[in-house]
Amino acid sequence: MFSFLKADDRDSPACIMGIINLSPDSFYEKSRADSVEKAVALAGRHVKEGATILDIGAESSRPGSRPIAEDLEIERLLPVISRLVKEYNVPVSVDTYKPAVAEKVLSEGAAIINDITGLQTYPEMAKVVAKHKAGVVLMHMRGDPLSMQEAPQYEDLIGEIKSYLRKSIELAESAGVVPDRIWVDPGIGFGKTKAHNLELIRRLDEFNDLGKPVLLGVSRKSFIGGVLDLPEEERLEGSLAAAVVGVLKGAAVIRTHDVQATCRVVRMAEAIVKNGVEEK
């Protein structure tokens, strides 16, 4: 078992989480792997470029997407998880909100469940995570992927999201999930407008009082396209800018499609603000 992040450890470098999508309809084509061998190769590249966590998903959660059957999700995931845990010495996170899927992948050696519903669709997920002594990412989402972008509104953006995440933390801890293995994610792009997303990044440090490490996923998302008027394949610079601001605001994990570039800009930003590079 790897060493989990601690919320009060502000001096440690941010973790870089490399994305691998096994679904054919994930929004960024270069993150997709349509075979076990391609997934393993992409994982190897992520690790070589500096990823300290691999995040594997088999069901797209892009706006407008529909869920797939549990059996299909498991069929896509298990052969890849089996190879990754044997071939790479980094923890594997699985992006799923379904308890039956989580049970299978954790039994196969995955270390983290990345639940886009924050345990609030299937609260029994918390018991599965606790049973395996795994980590869990609790994300905020308004609605579900099919409906989440239908005119999202908030009276108190930060307050409402923090309240949701507090409930998710309570569900996790009451089920026996190890408190130091719980991370939170405000859910950039999940039931938020462009303005909401920008405000969340600007005020990300306000989530630190939840007492959990904060994960930020901004990579190539539509709000960047909205600001820069660019398609997914041209959103690297915008993604890097958002990641750097996120780290400066306290993000402990950056989830990205572009590991090498993200790792470099984050380490440079950390060196400037934390004096984290020794003189040669």
User: Is 203 known to be catalytic?
Assistant: no
Q: Into how many domains does the chain fold?
A: 1
Is the torsion defined by CA of 193, 196, 200, 201 positive or negative? positive
User: pTM of the predicted model, to two decimals?
Assistant: 0.91
Residue 46's domain comprises: 15-273
End-to-end CA distance of the chain: 34
pLDDT in tens, the chain (280 residues): 455 665 556 678 999 999 999 988 777 677 788 899 999 999 999 999 999 999 999 987 766 667 789 999 999 999 999 999 999 999 999 999 999 999 999 999 999 999 999 999 999 999 999 999 999 999 999 866 655 566 678 999 999 999 999 999 999 999 999 999 999 999 999 989 999 999 999 999 999 999 999 999 999 999 999 999 999 999 999 999 999 999 999 999 999 999 999 999 999 999 998 765 555 4
* CATH code for the domain of 226: 3.20.20.20
Residue 6 in domain: no
Residue 279 in domain: no
Contact indicator for 49, 260 with CB cutoff of 8 Å: yes
User: Which one from 142, 212, 221, 235 is the annotated catalytic residue?
Assistant: 221
What is the pLDDT, as a whole number, of residue 1?
42
Residue 8 in domain: no
Torsion of CA 247, 250, 252, 256, to 10 degrees: -30
Residue 9 in domain: no
Residue 64 in domain: yes
User: Is 274 known to be catalytic?
Assistant: no
Residue 278 in domain: no
Interhelix angle for 194-202 vs 236-248, to 10°?
40
What is the pLDDT, as a whole number, of residue 280?
46
